[in-house]
Amino acid sequence: MRDPYSVLGVSQNASDDEVKKAYRELARKYHPDNYQNNPLADLAEEKMKEINEAYDTITKQRAGGYSGSSPGSYGYQQGYASATANPAYARIRNLINAGDLNQAEQLLYEVGQKDGEWYFLSGSIAYRKGWLDEALQNYTRAVQLEPNNVEYRQALAVMQRGSMGGYRPAGYTSSAGCDPCTAYLCCSCLTPWGGPCC
Q: Which residues of the chain form contacts with another protein (CB under 8 A)?
A: 29-30, 34-35, 38-40, 43-44, 47, 126, 129-134, 136, 159-160, 162-163, 165-169, 172, 175-176
Shortest Cβ 190–another protein spacing (Å): 26
Between residues 71 and 165, which has the closer beta carbon with respect to another protein?
A: 165
C-alpha triplet 89, 74, 37: angle, nearest 5°: 30
Shortest Cβ 144–another protein spacing (Å): 16
Question: CA torsion 139→141→142→145, rounded to 10°?
Answer: 160
Shortest Cβ 163–another protein spacing (Å): 4
Shortest Cβ 174–another protein spacing (Å): 9
Between residues 89 and 135, which has the closer beta carbon with respect to another protein?
A: 135
Shortest Cβ 140–another protein spacing (Å): 11
Between residues 11 and 38, which has the closer beta carbon with respect to another protein?
A: 38
Between residues 132 and 187, which has the closer beta carbon with respect to another protein?
A: 132
CB 166 within 8 A of CB 172: no
Between residues 40 and 85, which has the closer beta carbon with respect to another protein?
A: 40
